[in-house]
Amino acid sequence: MKTERTGLEEYGFTNLSRIHWNLPTPALYEQIINRNEGMLAHLGPVVVRTGHHTGRSPNDKFVVDEPETTNDVYWSKENKKFTEEQFDKLLGKMASYLQTKEVFVQECYAGADEDTRLKVRVVTENAWHSMFARNMFIREKDVNKLDEFQPDFTVVDCPRFHADPETDGTNSETFIIINFKRRMVIIGGTSYAGEIKKSIFTVMNYLLPKNDVMSMHCSANIGEEGDTAIFFGLSGTGKTTLSTDPERYLIGDDEHGWNESGVFNIEGGCYAKVIKLSAEAEPDIYECTRKFGTVLENVMVDSRGRSIDLDDDSLTENTRASYPITHLPKIVESGKGGHPDNIIFLTYDAFGVLPPVSKLSIEQAMYHFISGYTAKVAGTEKGVTEPKAVFSACFGAPFMVWHPSVYAKLLGEKVRAKGAQCWLVNTGLTGGPYGVGKRFAIKYTRAIIKAILSGELASGKFTTDPEFGFGIPEHISGVPEEALDPSNGWSSRADYDAKLKELAGKFAENIKRFEEGMDPEILKGGPTL
């Protein structure tokens, strides 16, 4: 039986003033308010601030280089090396820092599949971070099992502890360091709670493929007929909007695994971006911002009336809501679905040359998966004045541990074995490049998704794109036929062809980074330059 002062000595944590074990949500609310960590808003959410870190700090993430895993890790800008000695020294400093302080512990699971789930212990100095962990991971409701809980991985999160780059080997005072040998993650110098969930997702991205389980940065849902669909897409492509479908049941919105039984959610909650969220466009997520148990990060609130303003981006455009998935009305409570019938890659093409939907072969699916393409446009990022192609391997490069081809090959194997159909859906521009073209109407994109999920599209006729080689449908119910061929909206066919070749060249240039050690089958899915 755990007591308030025992249970964390194995990490070197001693002389703690108090350990709060697995506090339920109401008790965490009391702690958050009493400790002035947040403010209670109208209808029940708690509003918090993350300080100068309003998003992840990818340059401050490291992986400990040790003999057991060094040959597995794809060392890159996403996976920078940190020595065992540096890790132990920094952990010792954190232990000294925590002496005489209160800590909060949540013990939970990552992974709805019982055979591959990870027992996770999150130790943090903030009550609201403990509530975030309680929201985002899968809860253990049996108190007897909690008393006997032995973690597979532990996250130690100290936002107010800062590293010294000169002596600690970090890039800044902020750090997120994963140690697979010690089965620990240590986080310091940042109050952005997303680091907690993404660090464990990174761990799962290492562990699951070792068991031939595909790990995926995607959302997933199930239709009334039991058909499963998964959606990949970077920020701004519409992944959350299109997967949170009132006619379907949500498995999860961000992290999933795919094993021999089917797709399963890694999380127990949602972490939705809520800037300019409206009740009309996304009613279910909007309602979650007004519920007890939701944590609102950097959302502006009227200090007198305590009403929230989701349109106010004074602090950041990356305002977030963390809430248990049970806050949503239509969910798959088990967190598990069957093998996907359809896999949808979402992209925002600002060059205006990709069709609104394309049918992909298995080789093309692997190629576009490892590419992870979208585009940034002026106004979305400081310094961006014209469209910029963005490639994030596997639609989640910062969280991948193995070489990207490992995940792409595993995806191809599962698609081939289970008969899934893959699609590339462009939610970006048509009729010309940025400044000329217009964004595809959301009603047309929804009609395309409906045609995919109903099976209508797979049985239709297709023409072949001359540059990328994928199939372009000739007809979709509810979508004008002239919109299916993006060249129709361009005033000059020659300009269209030139821009299409330019984009294909960007794909080819990007893939060169991964060619060493890549399966040749993946390269077959690229454009024919």
Q: Give residue-wise pLDDT tens across range 72-86.
A: 999 999 999 999 999
Of 93, 134, 239, 414, the catalytic one is: 239
304 carries an active-site annotation: no
Q: Which amino acid is at 472?
A: I
Give me the pLDDT at residue 479, please.
93
Mean pLDDT of 179-207: 98
CA distance 131 to 129: 5
Residue ranges of domains in the chain, CATH in brackets: 9-37+56-210 (3.40.449.10), 339-392+424-451+462-523 (3.90.228.20)
Whole-number percent of the chain with pLDDT over 90:
86
Strand partners, 156: 123, 186
Give me the pLDDT at residue 364, please.
97
Of 235, 361, 380, 487, the catalytic one is: 235
Q: Which amino acid is at 307?
A: S
Of 168, 254, 341, 465, the catalytic one is: 254
Residue whose pair of structure tokens reads 């393409």 in the numeric block: 373
Give me the pLDDT at residue 298, please.
97
Mean pLDDT of 199-203: 98
Of 93, 197, 290, 320, the catalytic one is: 320
Q: Are 202 and 401 in contact (CB under 8 A)?
A: yes
Q: Are 175 and 62 in contact (CB under 8 A)?
A: yes
Give me the pLDDT at residue 486, please.
87
Tens digit of each residue's pLDDT (9 = 90 or more) over 513-528: 998 878 889 999 999 8
Tens digit of each residue's pLDDT (9 = 90 or more) over 39-68: 999 999 999 999 999 999 999 999 999 999
Q: Which amino acid is at 245?
A: D
Residue 6 — pLDDT band, cuts 50, 70, 90? low
Residue 2 — pLDDT band, cuts 50, 70, 90? low
CA distance 202 to 220: 19
Mean pLDDT taken over the chain: 93
Of 53, 56, 121, 339, the catalytic one is: 56
Of 53, 198, 359, 414, the catalytic one is: 198
Q: Which of 310, 38, 65 is nearest to 193 (CA)?
A: 38
State the greatest distance between any 2 C-alpha atoms of the chain, in Å, as a whole number. Answer: 74
93 carries an active-site annotation: no
The answer on pLDDT for 399 being more than 90 is: yes
Worst-scoring range by mean pLDDT, 109-118, 128-137, 240-249?
Answer: 240-249
235 carries an active-site annotation: yes
Residue count (the chain):
529
CA distance 161 to 13: 14
Distances (CA, A) of 505 to 98, 365, 378: 52, 18, 22
Q: Are 209 and 409 in contact (CB under 8 A)?
A: no
Q: Which of 321, 293, 311, 316 is nearest to 51 (CA)?
A: 316
Q: Where are the beta strands (DSSP E) in 76-137?
A: 80-82, 102-110, 118-124
Q: Are 327 and 408 in contact (CB under 8 A)?
A: no
Tens digit of each residue's pLDDT (9 = 90 or more) over 451-465: 999 999 999 999 999
240 carries an active-site annotation: yes
Tens digit of each residue's pLDDT (9 = 90 or more) over 402-448: 999 999 999 999 999 999 999 999 999 888 888 888 888 889 999 99
Residue 232 — pLDDT band, cuts 50, 70, 90? very high
Give me the pLDDT at residue 510, please.
95
Distances (CA, A) of 360 to 11, 283, 369, 528: 49, 32, 11, 15
List all residues 6 or more positions away from 29 whose beta carbon is below 8 Å from its beta carbon. Answer: 40, 46, 131, 292
Give me the pLDDT at residue 4, please.
55
212 carries an active-site annotation: no
Mean pLDDT of 187-212: 97
113 carries an active-site annotation: no
CA distance 323 to 271: 7
Give me the pLDDT at residue 384, please.
46
Kindly report the pTM of this predicted structure: 0.94
Whole-number percent of the chain with pLDDT over 70:
97
Give me the pLDDT at residue 488, please.
86
Give me the pLDDT at residue 380, please.
41
